[in-house]
Amino acid sequence: MTSIKELKQVKNLTFECETGNYHTFCPISCVSWLYQKIEDSFFLVIGTKTCGYFLQNAMGVMIFAEPRYAMAELEEGDISAQLNDYEELRRLCMQIKKDRNPSVIFWIGTCTTEIIKMDLEGIAPKLESELNVPIVVARANGLDYAFTQGEDTVLAALAQRCTQLQFNHSSNNSDSQKSQKPLIVFGSLPNFVNKQLTLELANQGIDVSGWLPSSNYVDLPNICPGDYVVGVNPFLSRTATTLMRRRKAKLIVAPFPIGPDGTRAWIEKICDVFGLKPRGLEEREKNIWSNLKEYTELLKGKSVFFMGDNLLEVSLARFLVSCGMIVYEIGIPYMDKRYQKAELEFLQATCQKNGVMMPKIVEKPDNYNQLDRIQDLKPDLVITGMAHANPLEARGINTKWSVEFTFSPIHGFSNAKDVLELVTRPLRRNSSLPDLNFKV
């Protein structure tokens, strides 16, 4: 067991790896936000009835919105190779083209397609030429990927399509834009958050050439060798690698724009790369913190423990330390120290600035061990996957579902309040409940 006294002696970030398993939400759930983001798309998830049942429950609230996704359910005949994969997928895709006429069809592979070695990458090009509809294959199986890495595999596959679209941006550019090296931002965010971050950069004299993904497949950005790219989410390391290796783009390694501190650092790093002096960011951040005072007063001195689920843990922990919280442990399913280098350095600097202990970062944590540590440390709040929330609440521990941060707009200056609204809700709820003493 780890005692609080031992933790307070930690002065540097420490990294551990435990079980090697991903105890997270299934990565095929990325369909739920990507089909809404890429408006001319259709997502076909290829898996078993279990996958279909998961999607039905995870996205059941969208049933009346006519979502642009479907399940290709594998039966015994498919798994035992008694049926022709090409013919079955051809039949489904022809029906999709007839009913929806999408600009692009995404095939999302699951655990079963991995186990039976279904050759999706081999089938797709032949069927794409026959149907005259782009088919993008992405692996989002829970054997190899954690929750939000489903989006990472989709964007990595999509990045390889960017240069195939001969779209000339320079014809509409002003003289100031022509002198600037193109900047592409990657990561799926709601359109209004895209506009907020684009405007923040424009206020610094930086024009965003495009976003990956774009709202429409036909508007994918043209990415050329030497163009700059920057991510908005810490779980997009595969996409970053693809952009660097396949598209020969230059990656800007910056903290992620979560919280006013992270947003300012993200913009400042981009300004630094483009040789610009940031304007008004210090005052902008100060005003946001002033508006968050009601929340930070509640969080000051409180402790939080991350069990690990969505790979946003390091960025959220850094922001909460800035709010005055103490982070005991950061559980995270997968840690790419190169892609998150700036964020890790920022976390360490933030802890030193606030004079608090450095959290321990545990990759692929063992949930049983974590429960022991939680019982020992007794944090004020545990941010956890849905499976552990009720058992922890039954032990008298405040919890917040990590999945809620994935589905909420948490990026940029204007949305910092949304993060703290989620974090403080269980604390405010429990503090407002009367202390009832029942006599048996």
Q: Following DSSP, what letter does each residue of 327-370 receive, concatenated?
A: EEEEEES---TTTTHHHHHHHHHHHHHHT-PPPEEEES--HHHH
Alpha helices in 59-148 (DSSP H): 76-79, 85-100, 111-115, 120-131
d(CA 307, CA 386): 11
The answer to whether 115 and 146 are in contact (CB under 8 A) is no
Is 111 among the annotated ligand-binding positions?
A: yes
The verdict on whether residue 30 carries a ligand-binding annotation is no
CB neighbours of 392 closer than 8 A, spacing ≥ 6?
Answer: 371, 374, 382, 384, 399
Look at strands 326-332 and 303-306 and give their pairing.
parallel
| Alpha carbons 105 and 90: distance in angstroms, whole number | 12
CA distance 44 to 270: 36
Q: What are phi and psi of 173, to 5 degrees?
A: -85, 145
* Residues counted in the chain: 440
Q: Which residues pair with 4 in a beta bridge?
A: none
Q: Does residue 170 sit in helix, strand or coil?
A: helix
Nearest to 119 by CA among 104, 129, 130, 107: 107
Where on the phi/psi map is residue 22: left (φ > 0), alpha (ψ -120 to 50), or beta?
A: beta
As a whole number of angstroms, the distance between CA 7 and CA 377 comes to: 10
* Residue 51, annotated as binding a ligand: yes
Termini Cα distance of the chain: 35
Going by the annotation, the residues of the binding site are: 26, 51, 111
Going by the annotation, the residues of the binding site for [4Fe-4S] cluster are: 26, 51, 111
